[in-house]
Amino acid sequence: MTADDQKRISGEAAAQLVEAGMVVGLGTGSTAAWFVKALAARGLDIRGVPTSEATANLARELGMTLASLDDVKSIDLTVDGADEIGPGLSLIKGGGAALLREKLVWEASARCVVIADAAKHVKTLGRFPLPIEVVRFGHPHTGRRLADIAAEFDLPPPRLRTADRGVVVTDGGNVIYDMASGVIEDPAALAGALKSVTGVVDHGLFLDLADEALIGTDDGVVKLVP
């Protein structure tokens, strides 16, 4: 089975968790897109709260009814992908630059389900560079403060994310610094240190947020709990 097939079966399994009448958080990325497609195919009367403009566009194309986070009191279930799933369902997210809206939607949700292909399940977080969302104003200064924090954790300085068109700007108008590490020994300590920096809006460590994971494997979908 290819990684994309594994993503597809995890997204399809998650779509089965949705019931009519629910408010559903719609994650971002290729795995979440499989979930959105499978959910739309069920034709249920639900409202989707998208975590990015890209997901909103996809959901609209599929005819889904959307609501903004501002318009709902709570979200029944959010389904989203991840870049890494580590011990206790600790996660690295933000590879698709949507981490801030994703975390806001996750934190407003009664239940959060992470979906992924098998390669995302790791023994320790850190192989995937940790995305950190930073306000644009003065970001080179914030970047230097992040480099100081990285040094305290024996990590190399984070790098400003760029793409073909230049510096990547998030849906919220911020930039992303990626902190490559290899191994994050103490995710909670790193999360706390990053949040203490003025200019850091948030980071891609999602700790104690996922209620379950549905991992697509060659043997089918495996459910994990923290």
Which positions are annotated as active-site residues? 102
Task: Name the nearest CA neighbour of 30 among 53, 8, 50.
Answer: 8
x/- binding map, residues 158-177, to ligand 5RP, per CB under 6 A?
--------------------
Nearer to ligand 5RP, 119 or 151 (CB): 119
Binding-site member from 98, 113, 132, 205 for ligand 5RP (CB under 6 A): 98
Q: Least distance in Å: CB of 54 to ligand 5RP?
A: 9
Helix %, strand %, coil % of the chain (to 5): 35, 25, 40
Smallest distance, ligand 5RP to C-beta of residue 98, A:
4
CB-based contact 225:89 (threshold 8 Å): yes
Q: Is residue 125 near ligand 5RP by the rule CB under 6 A? A: no
Tokens describing residue 22: 């629910």
86 interacts with ligand 5RP by CB under 6 A: no
The DSSP-derived string for 4-61 is: HHHHHHHHHHHHTT--TT-EEEE--SHHHHHHHHHHHHHT---EEEESSHHHHHHHHH
Q: For the chain, give the number of residues.
A: 226
Q: Is 82 in the site for ligand 5RP (CB under 6 A)?
A: yes
> CB under 6 A: which stretch of 89-97, 151-159, 195-203, 209-217 binds ligand 5RP?
89-97
Neighbour-count burial of 137, counting CB atoms closer than 10 A to its CB (0-12 exposed, 13-18 middle, 19+ buried): exposed
Binding mask 7-46 for ligand 5RP (x = CB under 6 A): --------------------xxxxxx--------------
CA dist 206 to 72, 87, 198, 211, Å?
22, 12, 20, 11
State yes or no: residue 95 binds ligand 5RP (CB under 6 A).
yes
- Which DSSP symbol is given to 214? E
- Assess 203 for contact with ligand 5RP (CB under 6 A): no
Residues in contact with ligand 5RP by the rule CB under 6 A? 27-32, 80-83, 93-99, 102
